[in-house]
Amino acid sequence: MKIKKFLLAAFAIVFLGSLVPIFFVYLEKEPSPQTNAQALERIKNNQGELFGFIVLGDSHTGIIPTDSTFLKVIQDVNMEGRWKKLPIDFVADLGDVTFRGSAWDYKVFNKLRSKIKWPVISAIGNHDDDNKEGAALFARYVGPRDFSFAERNSYFIFTDNNRDQTYPDEQFAWLEGELKKSQAYKHRFIFMHKSPISARFHHFYRPEVSSWSQRFMKLCEQYKVDIVFTGHEHLFREQEFGGVRYVVSGGAGMPLDVPRWEGGFLNYVVVRVNGDYVDYEVEQVFPPVWRFVTLTIWQDAFYFLRDAFFR
Ligand SMILES: [Fe+2]
């Protein structure tokens, strides 16, 4: 009986211990926003051709479950600096930084972003201007939606494709101009919220039926883009088309879209640039204990039964 009570108490402590830290974050004073421009200021003097950056997406901050999960992701991300094996320059956030683009959501995003050890550079997601004040809040907390910068031997392009199934001609012209400029560098990377091709066949998000999809991918092929990073789909997936790698990393907070064994795990990606070469590693994040107990194991059980008996 005593053992039962002890185990129950131990479980309660671990469960609550994984949930309580986010409430302390809510109580903290909000820091002044570290916008993309300020992040770029911090990395402008970096030198050398061996470096790294981290990519994550879809934290959807503003509600307790996603905030608590993102905090756990951040703790893991911050560990990437250990052993000092690779200088990490920045963290790229692929958008849906907020749950629904409200003032509260941005406030929490700002607090959580400030906990990331490296400068954070963010793209806009389709939910970041859901709310009527969302667009102005994104501009204030993050900055412009389309921009680029050169760093070390690489060129980085962030672009806004949060509108439904379209990427206007003016943006194509801008993008092509940027890709031309990027030819002076060894590598080029694109960061945006939505992939031009869906990460899985059975999904209602099917950009491949829209005209921008092929046009976008052809440009990436033509200008030899190394990797296109996107979020939107809440999973991890890697694909390759026309010599261009496409990496989907949308697992920094929301419930995952697919079974764990199909990429449905919390994740971030560490990219390593070594002179002429680029590779990356996906890191799985173990969910906070409260989430593991109330969501992850049930989701796994559901998918297990579905895959075992109904497929
Ligand atoms: Fe999302």
What does the pLDDT profile of the chain (311 residues) look like in tens digits? 789 999 999 999 999 999 999 999 999 999 999 999 999 999 999 999 999 999 999 999 999 999 999 999 999 999 998 888 899 999 999 999 999 999 999 999 999 999 999 999 999 999 999 988 999 999 999 999 999 999 999 999 999 998 877 899 999 999 999 999 999 999 999 999 999 999 888 777 888 888 899 999 999 999 999 999 999 999 999 999 999 999 999 999 999 999 999 999 999 999 999 999 999 999 999 999 999 999 999 999 999 999 899 87
Could you tell me the distance, in angstroms and rounded to a whole number, from the CA of residue 91 to the centre of ligand 1?
18
Ligand 1: distance of its center to the CA of 60 in Å?
A: 7
- The pLDDT score that the predictor gives to residue 208 is 87
CA of 47 to the centre of ligand 1 (A): 34
154 CA distance to ligand 1 middle (Å)? 27
CA–centroid distance, residue 95 to ligand 1 (Å) = 8
Tell me the CA–centroid distance for residue 69 and ligand 1, in Å. 14
**Reduced 3-state DSSP string for the chain:** CHHHHHHHHHHHHHHHHHHCHHHHHHHCCCCCCCCHHHHHHHHCCCCCCEEEEEEECCCCECCHHHHHHHHHHHHHHHHHHHHHCCCEEEEEECCCCECCCCHHHHHHHHHHHCCCCCCEEECCCCCCCCCCCHHHHHHHHCCCCCEEEEECCEEEEECCCCCCCCCCHHHHHHHHHHHHHHCCCCEEEEECCCCCCCCCCCCCCCHHHCHHHHHHHHHHHHCCCCEEEECCCCCEEEEEECCEEEEEECCCCCCCCCCHHHCCCCEEEEEEEECCEEEEEEEECCCCHHHHHHHHHHHHHHHHHHHHHCC
What is the Å distance from ligand 1's center to 102 Cα? 15
pTM: 0.96
pLDDT for the residue 164: 73
pLDDT in tens, 92-142: 999 999 999 999 999 999 999 999 999 999 999 999 999 889 999 999 999
Strands 236-241 and 187-191: unpaired
Give me the domains of the chain, ranges plus CATH numbers.
2-309 (3.60.21.10)
Cα separation of 125 and 280, whole Å? 23
